[in-house]
Amino acid sequence: MNYKYFILGGLICFLSSCKQEIHLTKIEGKRIEINDALSSDKAVEEYIKPYRKHIDNDLDSVLAYSTDTYSKTNGNLNTAIGNFMADAVFELSNPVFKSRTGNDIDMVLLNHGGIRSILSKGNITSRTAYEIMPFNNSVVVAELKGNYIKDLISYLQNSKRAHPISKLNIKLDSNFELIEATINKESIDVNRTYYVATNDYLYNGGGGMTFFKKSDSLYDLGYRIRNLLIDYFKKVDTLSPVIDDRFIQIK
């Protein structure tokens, strides 16, 4: 067969709007595992080498020091690492929020599952922040009426997990029934509006925190929590968080 005429005929058919239809009937594929067995491309490696070195230098520069190793599994209703994170969000977000609105953040709520790594004893670097918080979540502040704060507290009460909180104190009895809840050491006023700092994932219902949907207003600070942690590490020099009485059960 003369393939030159075959190809020419196909081209003529295409140009003359040939009505032959082609239908996709099957797609096949196979899984290619990415592991150490895959060889690297030397040319690509050489090209990215100076960029990798620059990034590694930034990530591994020492910002602070941790006096111990902290994990989100060390603690029942509050943990040292969770307390540090929530307190850091309050400390660095509140000045930003106040400068924009004239109001103070009343409390902070993050989620236990959002802590993705331990904080190891020793030097703290930017890489530490990326390991603890690998997501691009940003700080947002939700306006919540006092009666919806009650829903927030009920969520924490029923979850029985150490979700990071700051400026909120909760005391439960041996049956996990609520004894007392305060914000900034004051009883919660159902008629008052509270400003609750959290992250955009939780505000949108992540972790089942649907009570944020009842918010009257939302303020996006445009401050990624990972960047906030880096700024906090630079500020404190030495980190020694503790488990305290912000969320406890009386047995």
Residues in the chain: 251
pLDDT confidence tier of residue 30, bands split at 50, 70 and 90 = confident
Per-residue pLDDT at 5: 43
CA distance 127 to 143: 33
- Region 196-209 average pLDDT: 97
Q: Angle CA(51)–CA(53)–CA(55) in degrees, nearest 5? A: 70
CA distance 226 to 223: 9
Per-residue pLDDT at 57: 63
- Region 15-22 average pLDDT: 57
Query: Do residues 81 and 222 make contact, with C-beta atoms less than 8 angstroms apart?
Result: no
Residue 19 clears pLDDT 50, i.e. is over it: yes
The rounded mean pLDDT for the chain is 89
- Region 25-51 average pLDDT: 74
**Tens-digit pLDDT profile for residues 77-129:** 999 999 999 999 999 999 999 999 999 999 999 999 999 999 999 999 999 99
Per-residue pLDDT at 51: 61
Per-residue pLDDT at 148: 96
Give first-to-last CA distance, the chain, whole Å. Answer: 91
Q: Which residue has the higher pLDDT, 38 or 247?
A: 247
Q: Which residue has the higher pLDDT, 90 or 45?
A: 90
pTM of the model: 0.80
SS3 109: strand
| Structural domains of the chain in order of their starting residue, each with its CATH number | 62-249 (3.90.780.10)
DSSP-assigned states of every residue in 43-79: HHHHHHHHHHHHHHHHHTSEEEEESS-B-TTS-SS--
Residue 61 clears pLDDT 80, i.e. is over it: yes
CA distance 236 to 35: 39
Per-residue pLDDT at 68: 98
Burial of 158 (0-12, 13-18, 19+ CB in 10 A): exposed
- Which helix (H) or strand (E) is 81 found in, with range? helix 80-101
- Region 148-152 average pLDDT: 96
